[in-house]
Amino acid sequence: MVSVLQLQVEDPEHTFLTPQELAEQLGLCVSRLSAWRQHGGGPAFVKLGRSVIYKVADIERWLDASTRSSTSDAPIPRGRRVP
C-alpha cells in the first residue's frame, strides 16, 4: 500500500504537528524522530518547555531538501544544526 503525505494547510508558517502526528504522516516511529532530534538529520523542530512541535513549513523544506532522483545522488550532509 502506498500512502501519500498531504500537508496542505492555510498557513504552513503557523501550523504545527506533534511528533506523534508527524510520525504518523511519514509512516515512521516516534523514536526515529527523537533520534533525529538528538543526532540531526530530520526536520527542524521547536522546543517549548518539555514539548516538541514541528512547523509544517520546516517539514516541507526538509522534504524538498531530501528529495532525490536516484540512489546515486549526493547524500544529504549530516552536520549538526546551527541555531
CB 81 within 8 A of CB 41: no
Please tell me the predicted confidence (pLDDT) of residue 35: 97
Cα distances (Å, whole numbers) of residue 54 to 19, 68, 69, 75: 7, 23, 26, 23
Q: Is the pLDDT of residue 83 over 80?
A: no
CB 56 within 8 A of CB 7: yes
pTM over 0.95: no
DSSP 2-65: --------S-GGG-EE-HHHHHHHHT--HHHHHHHHHHS-S---EEETTEEEEEHHHHHHHHHH
Please tell me the predicted confidence (pLDDT) of residue 73: 76
Strands 51-55 and 46-48: antiparallel
Percent of the chain surpassing pLDDT 90: 57
C-alpha cell at 58: 520546516
Please tell me the predicted confidence (pLDDT) of residue 1: 40
State the average pLDDT over residues 19-39. Answer: 96
